[in-house]
A and B are shown apart, each in its own frame.
Chain A
Amino acid sequence: MAEVSGKVMSAKEAVAQFVHDGDELVIGNYTVGSCAELVYEITRQGKKGFTLYSQSGIFDVEVLVAGGCVDRLVTTYVMRSGGKKGGSAVERALKAGTLQIEDYTNFEYNARLVAGMHGFSFMPVLEGVMVTDIFRRRGFMGEKKFQVIKCPYTGKDILTVPAAAPDVCVIHVQRADAEGNAQYWGAMGSVAAAALASKRIIVSCEEIVDHDIIRSSPHLTIIPAYRVNAVVEVPWGAHPTEVLGYYNVDTFMYNGLFTAAAATASGLSDWMDEWVYGCPDRAHYIDHYIAKFGSETLDELRAKPFYSAPADYGAAFTSHWDRNGRERSMGVTLPELEKLLQERGKVYE
């Protein structure tokens, strides 16, 4: 653990401080390694009234919807959690009229965040969709879902989507430092855009590492510290989904327990009573898991290392002054330089 920073806190503190009822909330992760603990904590705190953005809804969206946290969902893909024959919390909420949905394609959804990330008010998207119901059928966004404009250069019709700048992003990454420099690698998806488009960012990570590690591998940093509000260290923070380099997806929990539970409202409610509401934090969750299924079930999921070749950030020298104390291009020592400045009347008392 690196030096103590004001940003390092528990999931409970981070959610209480930075997630508010009625927020536009975005789940930063895409398809893999979702921020399970942050999502569960939001659900435990009973936050509500969200407009939820999710590029690819898996168990995370199911838990938030079943927890009654979400009024509106902006998405491109929602897993049918209960399998083909079972339902999903999203489907049940739509049928009950408690959830409104807006469908985009993957690119369009991501383009909204990219616009937000760069401070633009809209983004052009791929025009083929204009012939489909994705364009023609509007949900709660109505006219603002898409607008068609004329390209000022070619005169052609351009399909556009409005920028999205959610109030808060929750996101899980491999590692971060105490200041919030967040490093993520693997399937990049729309992960960086989701975070950078947002006003507040809560990062959870498998481990908090020393700043020196970040400094030697900046190509892995997807969110800079100055944008991050809270850093939460949560080993197994994405379980039952996977984190590259740390652990695989837990098909026993995911396909075995969760999917079976998600097929019905009461099944999912029981599952959440045990695994979301029944565990005050991730440490308790993991303890409960081990007590129930044994530590070997978790150990089997641990990744075996396959290290990236180190990128060499080295340079020929790190000082203007050579080993004889002479400036590398001017050929003088610092005292000589100071003397010259004096002689030529360039310095003032």
Chain B
Amino acid sequence: MSKPFTLDELLAIAVAREIHDYENVVLGVGVPMTAGALAKQLLAPHATLMMESGIVDIRPLLSLNNIADAHSARGFSYATDLFSAFTATYRGFVDVCFLGVAQVDKYGNLNTTVIGDYNKPDMRLPGSGGAADFISYAKRTVLTMRGGTFVNKLDYFTSPGYLEGGDSRDKTGLFPVGSGPSALISTKGIFRFDPVTKEMYLATIHPGVSLESVKKDIPWDLKVSPDLSQTERPTDEEIDFIRNFAPELSAGRELTVELRNAALRKKAELRAGKNA
């Protein structure tokens, strides 16, 4: 049995396992970046990690602040621009991309733009960024969820999953055949999409999480794999990597903010003491 882990760590490690060796990988902001670094280090050493800012083939040394963070590595192999990063995706050179989720429906369609009315929002979310184009043209897309919500109807349709399910995505003729979300990984489990109906189902459940707790977040009658198993436990090596590389991910949002604020207060007090 491996050492104890947090659900955020398990999420990042499960995401890393979606990357195969020799793949071209587009990383999104947050968890996917740490997952990408883990994959590169332990699981898929020949993967090429890239970001829409035009940073291609980066070996991050510490967790990245954003998708244009060249400070987290010692150089990288190819400095292209955003335009070319997307046209490379359009031409089919990206095997897998990773997107964070704010709202998602049962066919993997996403909203990252707005909650409520577009012009007078209840909550203005960041927007598409690269999401809509990546999920359209990467060969497959892995969705990551750390605090988003499952909904029957999106408030705003930002990024196309399987549209109305079945063959509706392929039928539009707008997307590469077979592209679309291949998994949604949350802090509770791994969901995949039925090959025929394209409806999301629960494929594996994380250790220590109950089926009820998964279902209570989901407003439709969630389909569950008939051979539902537990998500494979992370190895000690994987856990150690995450803790060294991205300690704030291990700490989780709440504890990170608490510790950061305490450190800030301490710094301010020290400074006040010096000035006195």
Contacts and interface: CB of A to CB of B under 8 A. Distances in A.
Interface of A: 30-32, 55-56, 75-80, 84, 87-88, 90-91, 94-95, 97, 100-101, 103-108, 110-111, 114, 126-134, 136-137, 139, 185-193, 242, 244, 248-249, 252, 255-256, 292-294, 297, 303, 306, 308
Nearest to B119: A94
27 contacts: A31-B66, A31-B67, A32-B69, A76-B127, A76-B130, A77-B126, A87-B124, A94-B119, A94-B124, A100-B119, A103-B127, A106-B82, A106-B86, A107-B133, A126-B90, A127-B174, A128-B160, A131-B157, A131-B163, A186-B68, A187-B70, A188-B79, A188-B80, A188-B82, A189-B53, A242-B71, A244-B71
Interface in B69-128: 69-71, 74-75, 79-83, 86, 90, 113, 118-121, 123-128
B133 A128 contact: yes
A131 B128 contact: no
Contacts of A32: 53, 66, 68-70
Interface string B154-184: 0011111001000000001011000000000
B252 to A, nearest CB: 14
Interface residues of B, number: 55
B128 A126 contact: no
B54 interface: yes
Given A186-B79, A188-B54, A256-B264, A106 B128 contact: yes
B264 A292 contact: no
Contacts, number: 170
Interface string B35-62: 0000000000000000111110000000
A135 to B, nearest CB: 9
Q: Which of A31, A84, A130, A308 has the most CB of B within 10 A?
A: A31
B208 interface: no
B113 A95 contact: no
Contact of A137 (B70, B79, B156): B156
Contacts of A80: 124-126
Given A32-B68, A110-B86, A132-B157, 17 more contacts: A30-B82, A32-B69, A32-B70, A56-B129, A76-B129, A77-B129, A107-B133, A128-B174, A129-B132, A129-B133, A131-B172, A133-B158, A136-B157, A139-B119, A187-B51, A188-B79, A294-B271
A110 B124 contact: no
A95 B120 contact: yes
B260 interface: yes
A91 B156 contact: no
Contacts of A191: 81
B121 A91 contact: yes
Contacts of A242: 69, 71
B86 A107 contact: yes
A224 B175 CA distance: 39
B83 A110 contact: yes
Given A107-B83, A132-B160, A30 B120 contact: no
Contacts of B54: 187-189
A105 B132 contact: yes
A185 B129 contact: no
B65 A249 contact: yes
Nearest to B135: A128
B274 interface: yes
Contacts of B172: 131
A136 B160 CA distance: 13
A80 to B, nearest CB: 6
B267 A252 contact: yes
Given A132-B159, A189-B68, A249-B65, A104 B79 contact: no
Contacts of B70: 32, 186-187, 244
B129 A132 contact: no
B136 interface: yes
B83 A77 contact: no
B132 A90 contact: no
B137 interface: yes
Contact of A107 (B80, B130, B160): B130
Contacts of B226: none
Contacts of B120: 94-95, 97
Contact of B68 (A31, A87, A110): A31
A128 B132 contact: yes
B131 interface: yes
